[in-house]
Chain A
């Protein structure tokens, strides 16, 4: 049985070229990049080169705008807490209902301890931001706007560059969690209004445990970790040099593969989606079908539960994920599905397929072959399916 990995929004395989680039930094290149002697200096050079590789991927103006962190979550937390501290007199945060928990859980905590007032902007049924509500929430009390570049569950892309311009009019800082977008969608920060951007290594074929925060030159910033002078005093702690080198190499590869991601990978995704919608009744795509990451497809299957589908897929060698309550141990479907008002008949049965440049046509075909029967069998078990409205066009896919 072929193993098919379609859960690249959860994590990606480290590219062999990345592993190769990292290996010397576990052995002979062990120096501390802050040291003055030759052991450290050569490592310091490599750390700087990696910074330039990231600068290029983000099209940032300066390499020193990149601050290494240990994860996307650390980058997100740093950005939010920094903004509250760096913007005295402003204690409001504007964010969305569909952010990653790395932002949402922190915002809820800040609200609870009375540190900030948070505006959670909603989305429509296609996951698009409520722009009216966004404009209304902006004021000179807002310290930070933090809005994700692309949603991890549905792949829906928010117009962050334009949203940042609006935030700027009110003097607020703008941060974007671009953990899912970096490497999949073209990003150009130079000359734009985005002040801070989070990214994570393991989502772009670099290892886990390394991330970065872009901080625009001149943007107000207060460090989360205090200590040594690393990262120009913006993030204390000796750099994870192998991780950082791997992240730099992964950035270089991401630039090379961007056209593939936007072209071939997108075609594979579209082929998968189209075939499933044709072959399986009562299912539909979650999220914005047009403004979407090229690798992500989130499909809701009515009257079946997501985990049950995943278990069957797993048995056939296919790895995907679900926003269903049962996979997470909570009792409610994901906050993203709830924010989009996905009907309850379908919210528990949503499956996310996320591809990468490593996928090939056979992977997609294996899913197309396996899935219709799995859904059919589970529906036969369901007490609701017999009474369901089975018009084939009940859910007409909004397709590009």
Chain B
């Protein structure tokens, strides 16, 4: 069974704002019974102030779909439409203390229903670009349709570019083979359409997979990210004493801690050994598929703080 947070379970077993809202003046319906999940979001919006006075939902779907729908209503009640429109699917997932990677699409469904309801209120029709095809990158919840679109729109021809544009492959990279196949197939289609020349197109077996994997990993580090783990502007202090180093590291970890704790995890400094910084990841960080991403995020932040290259190594630490 899935590793749902207590909050997801609570919102599934005791959903808030479930049911029909009789006086709704903004309704968003997304998904379909054939897809396995569907959500009808009903809002009562005050026309002058555009404040969402009430919200209810009806959902057909799994545990996290129902929890995400309920969380969405809790997040938007009392907000104005212009405030609500800024909400992202990540906000829904965060509100629930995180969702398993395979279930991120449930939060996307909530986001889409909200956009559809707002469009409905304004007398517009929201254009649905719901995910298509199989989930490729489970770490970041990226599906085939999104990768194909990114490849076509940006004329991507390498796996590392795909990672940079979509995040797919930015985590454990076990989806490398699928990414490669999808890229080659999409490039081939682009050649057939005449929007890509044949010699530019990515072909399977064109290069050594191991090289490509390390390149993709390098690209991942440079990938544009909105994550709070992205390094701040680097400070260039030189000749730091160990004590200064330790203080700066503790400071950097303290800055990151709220983000880690939000996902139910934590991080502590264990030791400094030359340029190696030993940390222990605890709570939800342990055994998380994203642990390697977290570690590289911490590393980037430390490098920025210290202005010198360091290596962050996660170690196991016994309880105090």
Instruction: Tell me whether A384 and B33 are in contact in the complex, defined as CB-CB below 8 angstroms, given that A330-B134, A331-B135 are known contacts.
Output: yes
| A384 and B62 alpha carbons, distance in the complex (Å) | 15
- The answer, yes or no, to whether B304 is at the interface (CB within 8 Å) is no
Interface residue tally of chain B, by bracket?
20 to 34
Interface residue tally of chain A, by bracket?
20 to 34
Partner among A306, A315, A331, A382 whose Cβ is within 8 Å of the Cβ of B13: A315
| A312 and B15 alpha carbons, distance in the complex (Å) | 13
- The answer, yes or no, to whether A324 is at the interface (CB within 8 Å) is yes
- The answer, yes or no, to whether A276 is at the interface (CB within 8 Å) is no
CB distance from B268 to the nearest CB of A (A): 32
Asked if residues B1 and A314 are in contact (CB atoms below 8 Å), the reply is yes
Report chain B residues within 8 Å CB of A314.
Answer: 1
Report chain B residues within 8 Å CB of A304.
Answer: 60
- The answer, yes or no, to whether A381 is at the interface (CB within 8 Å) is yes
Instruction: Tell me whether A344 and B33 are in contact in the complex, defined as CB-CB below 8 angstroms, given that A329-B135, A383-B38 are known contacts.
Output: yes
User: In chain B, residues 128-145, which have Cβ atoms closer than 8 Å to a Cβ of chain A?
Assistant: 133-135, 138
| A234 and B39 alpha carbons, distance in the complex (Å) | 55
Partner among B13, B33, B102 whose Cβ is within 8 Å of the Cβ of A348: B33
Partner among A311, A344, A348, A381 whose Cβ is within 8 Å of the Cβ of B59: A381
Q: For chains A and B in complex, what number of residue pairs have CB atoms within 8 angstroms?
A: 76
Asked if residues A383 and B135 are in contact (CB atoms below 8 Å), the reply is no
Asked if residues B39 and A305 are in contact (CB atoms below 8 Å), the reply is no
User: In chain A, residues 310-331, which have Cβ atoms closer than 8 Å to a Cβ of chain B?
Assistant: 310-312, 314-315, 324-327, 329-331
Instruction: Tell me whether A311 and B12 are in contact in the complex, defined as CB-CB below 8 angstroms, given that A331-B135, A333-B36, A348-B33 are known contacts.
Output: yes
User: Quick one: CB contact mask for A98-117 with B, threshold 8 Å, 1 for yes?
Assistant: 00000000000000000000
| A78 and B316 alpha carbons, distance in the complex (Å) | 41
- The answer, yes or no, to whether B94 is at the interface (CB within 8 Å) is no
| A333 and B36 alpha carbons, distance in the complex (Å) | 8
Asked if residues A326 and B12 are in contact (CB atoms below 8 Å), the reply is no
- The answer, yes or no, to whether A307 is at the interface (CB within 8 Å) is yes
| A88 and B135 alpha carbons, distance in the complex (Å) | 39
Partner among B15, B34, B39 whose Cβ is within 8 Å of the Cβ of A344: B34
What are 12 A-to-B residue pairs whose CB atoms are below 8 Å?
A: A304-B60, A305-B36, A305-B65, A308-B62, A326-B63, A326-B65, A331-B135, A380-B18, A381-B66, A383-B38, A383-B40, A383-B58
Report chain B residues within 8 Å CB of A345.
Answer: 33
| A330 and B103 alpha carbons, distance in the complex (Å) | 10
Report chain A residues within 8 Å CB of B65.
Answer: 305, 326
| A285 and B103 alpha carbons, distance in the complex (Å) | 28
Using CB atoms, name the residue of chain A closest to B101. Answer: A329
Asked if residues A303 and B60 are in contact (CB atoms below 8 Å), the reply is yes
- The answer, yes or no, to whether B37 is at the interface (CB within 8 Å) is yes
| A310 and B134 alpha carbons, distance in the complex (Å) | 23
CB distance from B6 to the nearest CB of A (A): 13
Asked if residues A307 and B60 are in contact (CB atoms below 8 Å), the reply is no
Using CB atoms, name the residue of chain B closest to A325. Answer: B36
CB distance from A328 to the nearest CB of B (A): 9
Asked if residues A308 and B33 are in contact (CB atoms below 8 Å), the reply is no
Q: A326-B63, A326-B65, A381-B58 are in contact. List 20 more A-B contacts (CB 8 A).
A: A305-B36, A305-B37, A305-B60, A307-B62, A308-B66, A311-B1, A311-B63, A312-B13, A315-B13, A329-B138, A330-B134, A331-B134, A344-B34, A380-B19, A381-B15, A381-B18, A383-B58, A383-B59, A383-B60, A384-B60
CB distance from A248 to the nearest CB of B (A): 33
- The answer, yes or no, to whether B35 is at the interface (CB within 8 Å) is yes
Q: Most chain-B CB neighbours within 10 Å: which of A308, A310, A315, A344? A: A308
Asked if residues B15 and A324 are in contact (CB atoms below 8 Å), the reply is no
Asked if residues B40 and A305 are in contact (CB atoms below 8 Å), the reply is no
| A281 and B1 alpha carbons, distance in the complex (Å) | 27
User: Quick one: CB contact mask for A327-346 with B, threshold 8 Å, 1 for yes?
Assistant: 10111110000000000110
| A380 and B58 alpha carbons, distance in the complex (Å) | 8
Using CB atoms, name the residue of chain A closest to B39. Answer: A383
Report chain B residues within 8 Å CB of A382.
Answer: 58-60
- The answer, yes or no, to whether B61 is at the interface (CB within 8 Å) is yes
Shortest 9 CB-CB distances between A and B: which pairs? A326-B62, A383-B58, A307-B62, A383-B40, A344-B34, A329-B102, A382-B60, A348-B36, A325-B36
Q: Most chain-A CB neighbours within 10 Å: which of B35, B40, B60, B65? A: B60
Q: Which residues of A contact B (CB under 8 A)?
A: 303-308, 310-312, 314-315, 324-327, 329-333, 344-345, 348, 380-384
User: In chain B, residues 1-23, which have Cβ atoms closer than 8 Å to a Cβ of chain A?
Assistant: 1, 9, 12-13, 15, 18-19
| A303 and B61 alpha carbons, distance in the complex (Å) | 9
| A308 and B9 alpha carbons, distance in the complex (Å) | 11
Partner among B34, B39, B62, B102 whose Cβ is within 8 Å of the Cβ of A324: B62
Q: Most chain-B CB neighbours within 10 Å: which of A314, A345, A383? A: A383
CB distance from B308 to the nearest CB of A (A): 42
Partner among B13, B19, B38, B61 whose Cβ is within 8 Å of the Cβ of A326: B61
Asked if residues A308 and B1 are in contact (CB atoms below 8 Å), the reply is no
User: Quick one: CB contact mask for B237-264 with A, threshold 8 Å, 1 for yes?
Assistant: 0000000000000000000000000000
| A344 and B37 alpha carbons, distance in the complex (Å) | 11
- The answer, yes or no, to whether B266 is at the interface (CB within 8 Å) is no
User: In chain B, residues 54-79, which have Cβ atoms closer than 8 Å to a Cβ of chain A?
Assistant: 58-63, 65-66
CB distance from B200 to the nearest CB of A (A): 26
Report chain B residues within 8 Å CB of A315.
Answer: 13
| A308 and B68 alpha carbons, distance in the complex (Å) | 13
| A286 and B62 alpha carbons, distance in the complex (Å) | 21
Using CB atoms, name the residue of chain A closest to B20. Answer: A386
Using CB atoms, name the residue of chain A closest to B131. Answer: A331
CB distance from A318 to the nearest CB of B (A): 13
CB distance from A314 to the nearest CB of B (A): 7
Report chain A residues within 8 Å CB of B9.
Answer: 311
- The answer, yes or no, to whether B300 is at the interface (CB within 8 Å) is no
Asked if residues B37 and A326 are in contact (CB atoms below 8 Å), the reply is yes
Report chain B residues within 8 Å CB of A383.
Answer: 29, 38-40, 58-60
| A380 and B15 alpha carbons, distance in the complex (Å) | 12
Report chain A residues within 8 Å CB of B60.
Answer: 303-305, 381-384
Report chain A residues within 8 Å CB of B103.
Answer: 326
Report chain A residues within 8 Å CB of B38.
Answer: 383-384
Report chain A residues within 8 Å CB of B134.
Answer: 330-331
Asked if residues A308 and B40 are in contact (CB atoms below 8 Å), the reply is no
CB distance from B147 to the nearest CB of A (A): 15
Report chain A residues within 8 Å CB of B36.
Answer: 305, 324-326, 331-333, 348
User: Quick one: CB contact mask for B106-139 with A, threshold 8 Å, 1 for yes?
Assistant: 0000000000000000000000000001110010
| A182 and B15 alpha carbons, distance in the complex (Å) | 44
